[in-house]
Amino acid sequence: MPEQAPVEKLPAGHAPELLAEVAALPALPGVYRYFDANDGVLYVGKARNLKKRVSNYFQKNHGGTRIGHMVTKIVRMETTVVRSEAEALLLENNLIKTLNPKYNILFRDDKSYPYLKLTGARAPEEGAAPTGAVFPRIAYYRGAVEKKHRYFGPYPSAWAVKDTILLLQKVFRLRTCEDTVFNNRTRPCLLYQIKRCSAPCVGHVSPEQYALDTANAERFLQGQAQDILTELEKKMLAHADKLEFEQAAELRNQMSALSKVLHQQSMEIGGDKDVDILAVKVQGGKACVNLAMVRGGRHLGDRAYFPSHVENATDVAALDAEIDADAKQAEAAQAEAGGEGVVAVPPPAPAGKSLEALVLEAFIAQHYIDVPVPPTLVCSEPVDKELMEALTAQTGTKVTAIHQPREQRRIWLEMAQKNAGLQLARLLAEQGSQQARTRALAEALDLPLDNLDTLRIECFDISHTAGESTQASCVVFQEHKMVNSEYRRYNIEGITPGDDYAAMRQVLTRRYTRLAEAARNGEAKLPDLVLVDGGKGQVSMAREVFEELGLDLGLIAGVEKGEGRKVGLEELVFADGREKVYLGRDSAALMLIAQIRDEAHRFAITGMRAKRAKVRVGGSKLEDIAGIGPKRRASLLQRFGGIRGIASASAEDIATVDGISKDLAEEIYRALH
């Protein structure tokens, strides 16, 4: 009988099915996921050799380390085999951002990057009046890109985009107005008067000249400012030789504006056009990655990122690096032995990567999944070559990471490092004060102190204008910060306008009816404190709702205005009969209560104002009417000047618009009234 391969021995303590699955893994590159008993994701990792990597977790005794704690929680796993390490890297970091595992360094950035948008242009029709489609427009843009337009960026902030647009207006005088405004102009606007626009809307510039200005603006954004200056100088001299002094003066003014812009740049470009500068700082169990962007030779500013799960991920990432190093040494030893069966002794394993390097590599891998990668990354820590090779394979262009740069790049990196330190110090100071506030409130109200990170507070507020457009807000405080993703707004209907008590009853009933049932089944957790913005009346209404739902009345507290409604004199009113509590004007607990209450008020009033405006001006009713598409909507708005104008028009007036039948006009009139 043929000799069978020996079966690897895996330790007891896990389900036999899991251990058998580990032993049967292939020796191929791939991605693996560990899950706990609640089906929560513990860790996502990639491997050159799935069998060796995953087996190592279960074969070794990791003791009381974080790895040991994680391994004891594993009840099942999933693996995906891929063709290459580049594919594994991409899949791994997509899964990390999607699944939010507890033992991976995770970077979250809920905001999309802003871009500068240059709209596409088409050739002008002979004899036709100028339209917006002929003269491209520059604009601030955030969202999915379209092929028919050109986009420059990404930029680190909205301010950077708007500053760039201002520069382009000063130098090249490109328009920023919407097409609907452009197509209806009969005289130049103020921007023309202050020399920020060439007024193509009224024919003050030819399509050919405007196209040239647009092309130069693109070249400026691509870092070719000096070439533009040289060409403008040649054209200016040529006009002067022909005694065309007006044209020469225009070019001289444009050159002067461009030179002034270049002189005002706070940094030398140093020959680089597109570069990202990455600096990492780790302190107090927290980390900060500061990303500075250079685009088209201009330093556009920076943005700070703060990863989560840094401490949990340290030991696990170190183990993965150790396994990879052992595998590489074994391969090198086998190659050195010449494949003749001679076992070479591998050199000692190199020291593990620093935490800063691990954080930086995690950022690079996750950040550039959705964001274009510039050809050069200037980094404060050395970056693994395999990661850069994977990025190169992913993007199709050569990406280089430079550590210990010189000259201008060194200045950029030093600034990024300084900013990373400042941002991290600010975060630690804020978190320290927030943690102190959380503890002070928990102590004052006898809330659980064993794990303040999980302390959850929900706060409700009602907002309306004389009973119109009533909305309730619910904001959430957890992990020492406001959790914006869990905010909710509730449209209040079916009550007497202005009845805040009925509104509070409705929102609490809607919020906690299902949650109470889920909590009794162990499927959800109730908040540790429910705040309502109001005194005895609001608290009494909350008590009635909680009694009907069978919930603990000790969870409810009302924030009652103090004497004269002065800030700092608020008192807490409780639903379970306890005496009022005055925390004190300088109390850290009162500061936290005020912060949460004010956030609930802000969230409620902004929602109410948006709803009120929508009701008063017709809002999206026009789009909701069957038969009203973008073209008919644009025609209506152009004819009547806006929703208010349409609403004040009669059905007969509406029917005079091209494409609007009499029946449709009557339907529009009914919808807006």
What does the pLDDT average to over 148-152?
A: 84
pLDDT higher than threshold 70 for residue 63:
no
pLDDT higher than threshold 90 for residue 322:
no
335-373 b/e (C-beta count within 10 Å ≥ 16 → b)? eeeeeeeeeeebeeeeebbebbbbbbbbbbbbbbeeeeb
Q: How far apart are the C-alpha atoms of 308 and 3, rounded to whole Å?
A: 49
Confidence of residue 614 (pLDDT cuts 50, 70, 90): low
Whether 613 contacts 469, CB under 8 Å: no
pLDDT higher than threshold 60 for residue 222:
yes
Q: How far apart are the C-alpha atoms of 398 and 387, rounded to whole Å?
A: 12
**Strongest mean pLDDT among 235-239, 275-279, 321-325, 648-652:** 275-279
pLDDT higher than threshold 90 for residue 650:
no
- Partners of residue 572 on adjacent β-strands: 559, 581
Q: How far apart are the C-alpha atoms of 495 and 361, rounded to whole Å?
A: 55
CA distances for 527 relative to 462, 475, 486, 511, 531, angstroms: 20, 12, 13, 12, 10
Among 169, 120, 122, smallest CA distance to 147 is for: 120
**Strongest mean pLDDT among 73-77, 144-148, 152-156, 324-328:** 73-77
- The Cβ-side half-sphere exposure at 611, using a 13 Å CA radius, reads 20
What is the predicted pLDDT for the residue at 278? 94
Among 327, 331, 361, smallest CA distance to 89 is for: 361
What is the predicted pLDDT for the residue at 17? 84
Q: What are the pLDDT digits (tens) for 182-208?
A: 888 888 888 988 888 989 988 888 888
Among 644, 666, 643, 672, smallest CA distance to 653 is for: 666
Confidence of residue 634 (pLDDT cuts 50, 70, 90): confident
Least confident stretch, 38-42, 249-253, 608-612: 608-612
pLDDT higher than threshold 60 for residue 413:
yes
Q: What are phi and psi of 457, to 5 degrees?
A: -125, 130
What is the predicted pLDDT for the residue at 474? 92
Whether 513 contacts 486, CB under 8 Å: no
Q: How far apart are the C-alpha atoms of 73 and 18, rounded to whole Å?
A: 12
What is the predicted pLDDT for the residue at 221? 79
Q: How far apart are the C-alpha atoms of 489 and 484, rounded to whole Å?
A: 12
Q: How far apart are the C-alpha atoms of 612 and 608, rounded to whole Å?
A: 6
The neighbour count for residue 254, using CB atoms within 10 Å, is 21
Cα 120-123-125 angle, rounded to 5 deg: 135
What is the predicted pLDDT for the residue at 293? 87
What is the predicted pLDDT for the residue at 271? 53
- The Cβ-side half-sphere exposure at 44, using a 13 Å CA radius, reads 24
614 or 585: which leads in pLDDT: 585
Tracing tokens 């050109």 back to the chain, one arrives at 150
Q: What are the pLDDT digits (tens) for 423-480?
A: 988 888 877 788 888 888 888 888 877 778 888 999 999 887 666 668 888 999 998 8
CA distances for 478 relative to 100, 323, 434, 543, angstroms: 17, 37, 11, 23
Contacts of 220 (CB under 8 A, 6+ apart): 168, 171, 172, 228, 258, 296
What is the predicted pLDDT for the residue at 279? 95
Sheet holding 286-295, edge to edge: 298-305, 286-295, 275-283, 376-379, 400-403
What does the pLDDT average to over 211-224?
A: 83
DSSP code, position 354: P
The helix/strand/coil state of 83 is coil
Confidence of residue 55 (pLDDT cuts 50, 70, 90): confident
What is the predicted pLDDT for the residue at 379? 94
What is the predicted pLDDT for the residue at 418? 92
Q: What are the pLDDT digits (tens) for 336-353?
A: 665 544 333 333 333 457
Among 101, 46, 53, smallest CA distance to 73 is for: 101
What is the predicted pLDDT for the residue at 4? 45
Domains of the chain, start order:
16-104 (3.40.1440.10), 115-264 (no CATH), 452-615 (3.30.420.340), 618-672 (1.10.150.20)
CA distances for 236 relative to 170, 227, 244, 255, 467, angstroms: 18, 14, 9, 9, 66
> Kind and range of the H or E element at 47?
strand 41-47
Confidence of residue 281 (pLDDT cuts 50, 70, 90): very high
What is the predicted pLDDT for the residue at 3? 45
Q: What are the pLDDT digits (tens) for 570-591?
A: 788 888 888 888 877 777 888 8
The helix/strand/coil state of 308 is strand
Gyration radius (Cα) of the chain, Å: 32
Q: How far apart are the C-alpha atoms of 458 and 440, rounded to whole Å?
A: 17
What is the predicted pLDDT for the residue at 330? 66
Q: How far is CA 98 from the centre of its chain?
A: 14
pTM: 0.62
pLDDT higher than threshold 50 for residue 5:
no
Percent of all residues in the chain with a pLDDT value above 70, rounded to a whole number = 82
What is the predicted pLDDT for the residue at 219? 82
Q: How far apart are the C-alpha atoms of 202 and 191, rounded to whole Å?
A: 13
What does the pLDDT average to over 534-549?
A: 89
Mean pLDDT for all residues in the chain: 80
Q: What are phi and psi of 462, to 5 degrees?
A: -115, 135
What is the predicted pLDDT for the residue at 457? 92
